[in-house]
Structure 1
């Protein structure tokens, strides 16, 4: 997954050369869950930093396990991907100060 600059808002797209499973019946639901997680976390990051988020998210591939994959897992994966991208861009979040 890549995060690229965008004019305004959040764009979610799948790369033309994306590696997707052969089973077309399950992919749209998991992609929708992934997009939901991405959008939720991007909104939270924007609100926390007081900025409008402008980014294009390009999915390069996903893997689905026929037994263990769940919508919730893909939603959380989207949230974690945003956190990792923000961490790379801005560094780790500030740590809470200990009480003396």
Structure 2
């Protein structure tokens, strides 16, 4: 018996890992994420953080427009959400989001 078959699962080929990663990245792209980098087993995706327009509109009305200063600041300095999607040798997909 060879060592590859002796204990655990046989590692996936790079082509298979890339295919799994492509499928997962496509799901993220459908939800509005953009691809920053894409390599064999890892992809880095980013997305602008949303601004809650409903409550901001209420505050603009209540403050007579003064709240627009804050909204303009937030719109110009939007935070980015970043996620790193990886596929390991056994085909497990993990995603780590920061931001």
Q: TM-score, normalised by structure 1?
A: 0.31
Structure richer in strand, relative to its length = 2
Bigger Rg, which one: 2
Q: TM-score, normalised by structure 2?
A: 0.32
